[in-house]
Amino acid sequence: MDSGLVTSLSGALAQSRRIETIANNIANAETVGFKERDLVFEEALESAHQKDTRSDVDPGPLSKSELLARPMRENRPVLYGADFTNMKEGGMRSTGNSFDLAIEGNGFFEVLSPKGIRLTRAGNLSLDAQGQLVTRDGFLVLGPKAAGITVSTDPAQQNGGSASSRAIRVGNGNFEVDVEGNISRITAGARENVGKLSVVQVENPKALKLVGQNMFEAAPEAFVKTPDAPDMRAPASVDAATSPLPEPKENPLGPTNVAPRVHQGMLEGSNVNPVEQMTRMIQAQRLYDQNLKIMQSQGDMTSRLSDLGKF
Amino acid sequence: MLNTLNTAATGMTAQSRQIENIANNLANADTTAFKKSRTDFQDLLYHNLQAPGAATSATTQNPTGVQIGVGVRVAGNVRDHEDGTLKPTQRDLDIAIEGNGFLSIQKPNGEIAYSRDGSLRLGAEGRIETISGYPVVPEIQVPPNSREIHISFDGRVSVKDEQGAQQEIGQIQLTSFANPSGLQAEGGNLYNVSPASGAPVPGTPMEGGFGRVFQGYLESSNVNPTVEMTDMIRAQRMYEMNSKVISTADQMMNALNQIR
């Protein structure tokens, strides 16, 4: 009986986590470049029952047919398996402000945060006191790496070293950004190229970690593709057969072989669909209630069982 | 569930900040040279229940992890320094700056503030002043008995004396900033220098990227009431949705309390 209680409890907990995720999506429905998240649940197959029958050698993940061949277990608590970010593009909104940039297609701006280089799609930029392009938090927006310079992946190195030299100085006056991210400054009718925005592509968006402030941190398995290092998965370096992550069949960000386009005067809104979120919320609430109901009936059954002894 | 309550509360706070900002934009829709501002939001830090890439066995790792967000915050109110439209007034001492640049104004405490409000007046001693009576810097003195003040595109101020002879009496200087959005608004259409704005760069109209001075015009605010109204409706609905999340969390907690 106890294991049944645990199962329902895990269900209720999972649904309340889900509500937390939905609350965050709704709270961020107006956040520039925000991507909605959803929790995916999985059954806790690897429960204690199985562990004692196993040898010390980990056989690795089981195939679906192997799993189905196993005898049914009565105890299957729910685990939050993974949550994933829905990387679908958010709606574009015209703002008419030349400091607002939106990326169409698979692409991220590179931003120098105090903890190292981060990626963002929030293009609501501004200038700092030195006339350099910065994000809302004052983090430098970076241009492409100069040819031949290798930037260390160590955050400390990135900060002190060459990364800050990739800042884009726009200075005073009007400027224009073309679809490729080239920035030109217009002074008294004359056009002068002042730099280029680094727009990198991500082949495996699932490996992006959210760090808040509209930024993502890219794990190495995200396969960040920069214009100067066009293919992180070059056949020579990664053997297709043993590659830990197969090429995602469908990249929700869009294909990486299509160059992203930068649009000035536009902002990408969040991709949160409030209707969907509200529906999911109702669903999660009902499932939560049902799990509680089951817990309650289990409790009733246990108490009746103990009543039996009184006869 | 308590997290849910907090998350939804951050959403409600953020949306009410946005409504406050919209209210100020709309209230100033007719203020000379008023610059609208926009509320920008950011997601808060994530609660990492399971970091992406955490090991799920000796040979496998979780490709996405579990990260629960805890809400939203207002990242900033950014002022949009786009020019407002120029509105003809026919007054000699109304000037509008088309393009980059601010007028320098001396406040009563001696400090310099910056403004794009060009509705100027003549003070008691013939000095050119703002509507609040603060002198424009550098000071321009209009001689008594002069007629027809003329201000050229490049900011030169000239008058006709009693004999009808043209006489130049001063030059309007403009000041620009690397980041005008970083200026600190003081109210009264004045802005102060801040560390984020960069140092003031003085200059002459029509030179080195500075704008032109238009006599007989005033710059209207750059508020677009249609945009503000639609933003307001959106903000209100988002506020309501966040409050729905709170009541859902409340109902769930209620259900939990009923269980025993």
ipTM of the prediction: 0.77
Cβ atoms of A256 and A203 within 8 Å: the answer is: yes
Structure tokens at B7: 């998350």
> Minimal Cα–Cα distance from B205 to chain A, Å?
11
Structure tokens at B247: 């009541």
- Chain A's closest residue to B77, CA to CA, is A136
The shortest CB-CB distance from A278 to any of B4, B67, B244 is to: B244
- Chain B's closest residue to A190, CA to CA, is B209
Cβ atoms of B92 and B215 within 8 Å: the answer is: yes
Cβ atoms of B74 and B41 within 8 Å: the answer is: yes
Q: Taking CB atoms and an 8 Å limit, are B4 and A60 in contact across chains?
A: no
Q: What is the pLDDT of residue A82?
A: 66
Q: What is the pLDDT of residue B61?
A: 67
> Minimal Cα–Cα distance from B146 to chain A, Å?
35
Structure tokens at B161: 């004396």
Q: What is the distance between the terminal CA atoms of chain A, rounded to a whole angstrom?
A: 21
Banded model confidence at residue B134, pLDDT cuts 50, 70, 90? very high
Count how many pairs of residues, chain A against chain B, have C-beta atoms within 8 Å. 232
Distance CA B217, CA B119 (A): 9
Mean pLDDT across B149-170 = 90
Strand partners, A208: A218
Q: Single out the residue of B246, B248, B5, B67 nearest to residue A283, CA to CA.
A: B248
Q: What is the pLDDT of residue B135?
A: 93
| Exposed e or buried b per residue across A278-303, where buried means at least 16 C-beta atoms within 10 angstroms of its C-beta | bebbeebbeebbebbebbeebeeeee
- Chain A's closest residue to B59, CA to CA, is A60
Distance CA A97, CA A105 (A): 21
Chain B 55-74, residues with CB within 8 Å of chain A CB atoms: 57-72
When scoring A16, A19, A24 by the number of chain B Cβ atoms within 10 A, the one with the most, hence best to mutate, is: A24
- Confirm or reject contact between B53 and chain A (CB < 8 A): yes
The pLDDT tens digits along chain A (311 residues) read 567 888 888 888 888 888 999 999 999 999 998 988 888 776 665 444 444 444 444 455 556 665 555 555 455 667 666 667 888 888 888 887 888 999 998 889 999 988 888 999 998 888 888 888 889 888 999 888 764 444 444 444 444 456 777 888 877 667 889 988 888 887 766 788 888 888 888 887 777 888 888 898 887 777 777 665 544 444 434 444 444 444 555 677 777 778 889 999 899 999 999 899 999 999 999 999 999 999 889 888 888 888 887 75
The shortest CB-CB distance from A19 to any of B75, B242, B252 is to: B252
- Chain B's closest residue to A79, CA to CA, is B66
Distances (CA, A) of A243 to A203, A235, A277: 14, 10, 35
Q: What is the pLDDT of residue A230?
A: 47
| Exposed e or buried b per residue across B27-38, where buried means at least 16 C-beta atoms within 10 angstroms of its C-beta | ebeeebbbbbbb
Q: Taking CB atoms and an 8 Å limit, are B63 and A206 in contact across chains?
A: yes
Residues from chain A that touch B14, judged by Cβ atoms under 8 A, are 27, 30
Q: Which secondary-structure segment (H or E) carries A192? A: strand A190-196
Distance CA B229, CA B248 (A): 29
Q: What is the pLDDT of residue A47?
A: 44
Q: Single out the residue of A195, A201, A202 nearest to residue A178, CA to CA.
A: A195
Structure tokens at B47: 């609660």
Q: What is the distance between the terminal CA atoms of chain B, rounded to a whole angstrom?
A: 18
The shortest CB-CB distance from A172 to any of B62, B76, B178 is to: B178
Cβ atoms of A78 and A43 within 8 Å: the answer is: yes
Strand partners, A174: A186
Q: Taking CB atoms and an 8 Å limit, are B68 and A17 in contact across chains?
A: yes
Residues from chain B that touch A44, judged by Cβ atoms under 8 A, are none
Helix, coil or strand: residue A66: helix
Distance CA B134, CA B97 (A): 18
- Confirm or reject contact between B14 and chain A (CB < 8 A): yes
Percentage of chain B surpassing pLDDT 90? 62
How does pLDDT run across B162-214, given as a tens digit for each residue? 888 888 999 999 999 888 888 999 999 999 999 888 889 999 998 877 889 99
Residues from chain B that touch A267, judged by Cβ atoms under 8 A, are none
Q: Single out the residue of A25, A36, A33, A83 nearest to residue B72, CA to CA.
A: A25
> Minimal Cα–Cα distance from A65 to chain B, Å?
19
The shortest CB-CB distance from A82 to any of B1, B59, B64 is to: B64
Please tell me whether the peptide bond between B180 and the residue prior to it is cis, using omega within 30 degrees of 0: no
Residues from chain B that touch A85, judged by Cβ atoms under 8 A, are 64
Residues from chain A that touch B65, judged by Cβ atoms under 8 A, are 82-83, 209
Q: Taking CB atoms and an 8 Å limit, are A172 and B241 in contact across chains?
A: no
> Minimal Cα–Cα distance from A222 to chain B, Å?
10
Q: Which residues, 6+ apart, have CB-to-CB distance to A234 below 8 Å? A: none
Q: What is the pLDDT of residue A56?
A: 45
Q: Single out the residue of A12, A36, A41 nearest to residue A24, CA to CA.
A: A36
Q: Single out the residue of A78, A50, A48 nearest to residue A62, CA to CA.
A: A50
**Pairing state between β A116-120 and A108-113:** antiparallel
Mean pLDDT of chain B: 89
| Exposed e or buried b per residue across B1-11, where buried means at least 16 C-beta atoms within 10 angstroms of its C-beta | bebbebbbbbb
DSSP calls for B65-127: -EEEE--EEEEEEEE--PPPPEEE---TTBEEEESS-EEEEE-TTS-EEEE---B-EE-TTSB
What is the sign of the dihedral through the CA atoms of A281, A287, A288 and A289?
positive
Strand partners, A199: A109
Residues from chain A that touch B55, judged by Cβ atoms under 8 A, are none
Which burial class, exposed, middle or buried, applies to A183 when counting CB atoms under 10 A from its CB (0-12, 13-18, 19+)?
A: buried
Helix, coil or strand: residue B197: coil
